[in-house]
Amino acid sequence: MKKWVYLFSEGNADMRNLLGGKGANLAEMTNIGLPVPQGFTITTEACTQYYEDGRKINDEIMGQVMEYVEKIEAMNEKKFGDLKNPLLVSVRSGARASMPGMMDTILNLGLNDEVVAAMIAGNPDPKFERFVYDSYRRFIQMFSDVVMEVGKKYFEKLIDDMKNEKGVEYDVDLDASDLKKLAEQFKAEYKNQLGKDFPSDPVEQLKLAIEAVFRSWDNPRANVYRRDNDIPYSWGTAVNVMPMVFGNLNNESGTGVAFTRDPATGEKKLMGEFLKNAQGEDVVAGVRTPMPITQMEQEFPEAFKQFTEVCETLETHYRDMQDMEFTVENKKLYMLQCRNGKRTAQAALKIACDLVDEGMRTEEEAVAMIDPRNLDTLLHPQFDTAALAAAKPLGKGLGASPGAACGKIVFTAEDAQSWNARGEQVVLVRLETSPEDITGMKSAQGILTVRGGMTSHAAVVARGMGRCCVSGCGDIIMDEENKRFSLGGKEFHEGDEISIDGTTGNIYDGIIKTIDASIVGDFDRIMSWADKYRKMKVRTNADTPADAKKARELGAEGIGLCRTEHMFFSEDRIEIFREMICSDTVEEREKALDKILPYQQRDFEELYEALEGCPVTIRFLDPPLHEFVPTEEEDIKKLAYALGKSIERVKSIISSLHEFNPMMGHRGLRLAVTYPEIARMQTKAVIRAAVAVNKKHPEWNMKPEIMIPLTSEAKEYQYVKKIVVDTAAEELKASGETLDYEVGTMIETPRAAVTADAIAKEADFFCFGTNDLTQMTYGFSRDDAGKFLNAYYDKKIMENDPFVKLDQEGVGKLMKMAVDMGKAGNPSLHIGICGEHGGDPSSVEFCANVGLDYVSCSPFRVPIARLSAAQAAISQAAAKKEESGSKADDSKKSFVDDETKARLKEAAEKAQEIAKDLAETTAEVGKAGLAALKAGIEEAKKVYSEKRDN
């Protein structure tokens, strides 16, 4: 029979996957001799089985649970449901990854009318009677809410009514008779809501509570938390059942929560709160104002002294800041939980550095301790904590780009520019953004969109700029024409003030105070350690010198993606580019492109200067041309006049550019095949800019990288590469200079991945464009997927947005195939990634594992990528070390040679023959046969032992 249940004394900290974090830590605290009420843990595998069995606890699991109830009854000298000495228990969740507040807990389980009456009869003290009824009403309320899903509000109203009737402010001021009456009212409300009596059988209570905890693994808040923190649904939660200790027993008792270091700043000092005559839920729920943990020393000096010793023991043992829950019952301390405490990014950096300085951690361990995602909060303005706590969100979208933004609402990119020019801070609100909005986005403090996901245009560009962005707020009712929208029951107009939180996705009415993010010295220290241990390079996606300089400040080692199309949208260039698009002949197009060439060359020179000799990868024109043409009547007229064409002719050209599926249409290198003059102009700009900068800075040894987008077929890549090489040769010959450069391609289509060996023969490098590769592998649009992905999450078809977290099973396999085939076809090939996944920690780790040379991400995600790359390298090194150690252990175990194995086999066979022959005779002879079999086994053991000893 499978083991579904473990006593705390049977586990340890290494069994986290099976026992969950809470269960493993309770076991570990038991092992090191701390005062833990002795209970048991129902495994995470039992949770998985619960779901496989149709959300039911099977008889085998429940049988083991009751067997272990008997064991803790004996250990605690109390009996479950007994009237003389009842065992009351708590039932708590405990996933392998900490999920504070996401799942459910039930306290005081095992109480019923009979047990309550018997407990009171055995102790006539009125204070004890009050404690019993206090525990009973708490249990009824918690069980009703958590297990039977009867809302708290019904019970809270009854409590408020009772306090009003008695003229008191706090629950603690109600006496025994009040609490007894409340318990009766609670049971009546339970029956009123559910149509049946409150369950009195402790065994039934226990089973229902365990099911409720398993069920809470799939509650909405837990599902959201898991998606946000990369916790797989398949892990499940454990359940911890432990005897109750009572902080609400009397004024000699209490409960508290504490941290061994300040979780906000990282300062090394005991932080926490404590409440007398209370249970843990009172501290967490804020029912009463707790006292600082240090005040506990005056109330319970002995327990406090022991607690501080426990804190030191736990931090030394786990070598990390600890978050602990504890109870004092009659001045005696009991530890109910410990875990590595949640902390701010600032605190995480300080704690990691301090632990190294204190000799508790190595540099590698310090780097591995920090969640890379938390670094975002150090790099963007944030709302003031107190001001944010006082504000109520009107709505919520996707936190697409971190930071805090507040200002006056504008509805167009032009208005954002003009309002900003006159000194106004603005938030740009759009149905969705397009490349044309880029200048307005730069002028805005933040961007709010109704449509689009985490990799929509607004999200990607905002992250690149370091602008706060909330995307995909579908609750907004937009009226762009009249410059107004409705949200949360309020209508907003142009000029009204709002605030948006790009980390949480929350949207607020009015202006919320912001504070500048601060990067403390510990940040640089951690990053220097990360750079010391990582193997992969980290580049940035940048299109402007300002972005490039910011990325360099944050540690970028080059540009992995310069999107040249963004350079065409400024006012002095877009008209020329539109002339090129609407030209009828090659000559007309070349004439327009000649006008753009100096702008493009200057752009590249500025980028080269900003990067100071670091690699710069320039992607040639990628979007379909329809994104550049005008849509407004006035702009069309203006273009027609500039071209000397009729308005109807220009409209006809614009109409001809329409595509039913533009993201899979006439774009990328297909444009260069159709219009090679575009590729020639961009090649000239790249080479001329590099030659010019090389003359000024010969020590930089410029080597530009030209990236051809959207290759699917080796022949089309060869065709475009020839245009690039021939044009570059002409330019270098004309300049009289020599210059090394590389030509590579993006791997963005499944066909490119599966034919990577052929493409690699002609390419100097590959770069994965995982936004498009994901889109084409799944076959859905990244901008529209948000409409149905929530249904996929709810039905457990998918756990994450594949545009945010790389799909390692599908897209990842294509990447691995392309890496292996590409490097086999061209050993000098270097490979990177420049999709948005380049800044996602789990995706960066995958890239390291499949052998990429670099990742490239938006400037403000560079530190995240640096840290993630270091963690991947440290993890790989640890795995190799463990593997080599395992092999060494295996070689030590292999001391039985072939000759000895043959002798052992022969001895066993003889024993079997003797036993078989003798078993067919009389019983007496059968006994002799058994003796002979034993003798044969002893002989075999002797041979084995001799060999082992030698």
* 76 and 110 Cβ atoms separated by less than 8 Å: no
What six digits make up the tokens of 241? 């059942």
Asked whether the predicted pLDDT for residue 401 surpasses 70, the reply is yes
Give the pLDDT of residue 875. Answer: 94
Q: Specify the pLDDT at position 172.
A: 83
Task: In whole angstroms, give the CA distance from residue 156 to residue 91.
Answer: 22
Residue 42's closest CA among 239, 308, 231? 239
Nearest to 454 by CA among 837, 861, 845: 837
Average pLDDT over residues 744-762: 97
Mean pLDDT of 478-506: 93
Mean pLDDT of 396-418: 90
Average pLDDT of span 121-138: 91
Pairing of the two strands 5-7 and 40-42: antiparallel
Average pLDDT over residues 268-289: 78
What single-letter amino acid sits at 74?
Answer: A
The residue among 282 and 92 whose pLDDT is bigger is 92
Q: How confident is the model at residue 570 (pLDDT cuts 50, 70, 90)?
A: confident
Q: Give the per-residue pLDDT at 701.
A: 87
Residue 169 has a pLDDT of: 83
Q: Is residue 1 within 8 Å of 60, Cβ to Cβ?
A: yes
Catalytic residue among 457, 566, 830, 837: 457
Lowest mean pLDDT among 176-190, 762-776, 906-920: 906-920
pLDDT at 917 over 80: no
Between residues 431 and 747, the one the model is more confident about: 747
pLDDT of residue 911: 67
Q: What is the pLDDT of residue 945?
A: 66
Q: Could you list the beta-strand ranges (E) of 613-691.
A: 616-619
Q: How confident is the model at residue 642 (pLDDT cuts 50, 70, 90)?
A: confident
pLDDT tens column, 225-268: 788 778 888 999 999 999 999 998 899 999 998 999 988 789 99
Rounded Cα–Cα distance for residues 30 and 311 (Å): 15
Instruction: Give the whole-angstrom CA distance, residue 61 versus residue 49.
Output: 9
Supply the mean pLDDT for the chain.
89
Residue with tokens 């605690």: 76
Q: Which helix (H) or strand (E) holds 382?
A: strand 382-383
Tell me the C-alpha distance between 419 and 421, whole Å. Answer: 5
Q: Is 186 helix (H, G, I), strand (E, B) or coil?
A: helix
d(CA 942, CA 283): 64
Report whether pLDDT(689) > 80.
yes
pLDDT value at residue 373? 85
Stretch 288-301: mean pLDDT? 86
More confident residue, 833 or 883: 833
Average pLDDT over residues 168-197: 93
Q: What is the pLDDT of residues 306-319, one digit of tens each?
A: 999 999 999 999 99
Three state DSSP letters for 108-126 = EECCCHHHHHHHHHCCCCH
H runs (alpha helix) in 497-632: 521-533, 545-553, 571-581, 586-611
Kindly state the average pLDDT of the residues 451-460: 65
**Distance between CA atoms of residues 455 and 458, nearest Å:** 8
**pLDDT score of 459 more than 80:** no
Lowest pLDDT segment from 640-654, 671-685, 714-728, 855-869: 640-654
Per-residue pLDDT at 919 exceeds 70: no
Q: What's the one-letter identity of residue 422?
A: R
Q: Quick check: helix, strand or coil at residue 399? A: strand
- With residues binned 3-state (H G I as helix, E B as strand, rest as coil), the percentages for the chain, rounded to 5, are 55, 15, 30
Active site residue 666: no
For strand 742-747 and strand 765-768, is the pairing parallel, antiparallel, or unpaired? parallel
Report the distance separating Cα 542 and Cα 856, nearest Å.
Answer: 10
Of residues 95 and 889, more confidence is placed in: 95
Radius of gyration of the chain (CA): 34
SS (H, E, C) 518-532: CCCHHHHHHHHHHHH
- 716, HSE (Cβ side, Cα atoms, 13 Å): 18
Higher pLDDT, 230 or 421: 421
Does the pLDDT at position 659 exceed 90? Answer: no
Determine the Cα–Cα distance for residues 540 and 561; give it in Å rounded to an integer: 7
Give the per-residue pLDDT at 888: 64
Q: Is 767 a catalytic residue?
A: no
Q: What pTM value is reported for the model?
A: 0.78
Beta-carbon-side half-sphere exposure of residue 644 (alpha carbons within 13 Å): 3
Confidence (pLDDT) at 399: 85
Contact call for residues 247 and 280 (beta carbons, < 8 A): yes
Q: Where are the alpha helices (DSSP H) in 143-175?
A: 152-166
Place 170 in a pLDDT band, splitting at 50, 70 and 90: confident
Mean of pLDDT values over 436-465: 76
Select from 242, 241, 236, 211 the least CA-distant residue to 44: 236
Burial 305-318 (b: 16+ CB within 10 A, else e): ebbbebbeebbebb
Residue 195, C-beta contacts closer than 8 angstroms, at least 6 positions apart: none
CA 904 to chain centroid, in Å, comes to 54
SS3 state of residue 535 = coil
Which amino acid makes up residue 249?
Answer: L
Give the best-scoring range by mean pLDDT among 77-86, 781-790, 878-887.
Answer: 77-86
Which one of the listed residues 353, 473, 834, 847 is annotated catalytic?
A: 834
Helices (H) and strands (E) in the chain — how many of each?
36, 33
Q: How far apart are CA 199 and CA 111, in angstroms?
A: 10
CB atoms within 10 A of CB 10: 15
Ramachandran category for residue 383: left, alpha or beta (phi over 0 → left; psi -120 to 50 → alpha): beta
What value does the mean pLDDT take over residues 11-19?
96
Residue carrying structure tokens 């540009």:
559
> Average pLDDT of 905-931?
65
pLDDT tens for 367-379 read 999 999 888 778 7
The pLDDT, as a whole number, for residue 885 is 74
Query: Edge-to-edge, what's the strand order for the sheet holding 254-259?
Result: 291-292, 271-276, 254-259, 322-329, 332-340
Tell me the torsion sign for CA atoms 312, 316, 320, 322. Answer: negative
Q: Hey, which of 92-106, 364-378, 550-564 has the most confident mean pLDDT?
A: 550-564
Residue 471 backbone phi and psi in degrees, to 5: -115, 165
Evaluate if residue 860 carries a pLDDT over 80: yes
Contact between 818 and 744 under an 8 Å Cβ cutoff? The reply is no
For the stretch 760-801, pLDDT in tens is: 999 999 999 999 999 999 998 888 888 898 899 888 899 888
Stated as kind and residue range, the H or E segment containing 402 is none
3-state class of 331 per DSSP? coil
Q: Is the pLDDT of residue 907 over 90?
A: no
pLDDT at position 30 is 97
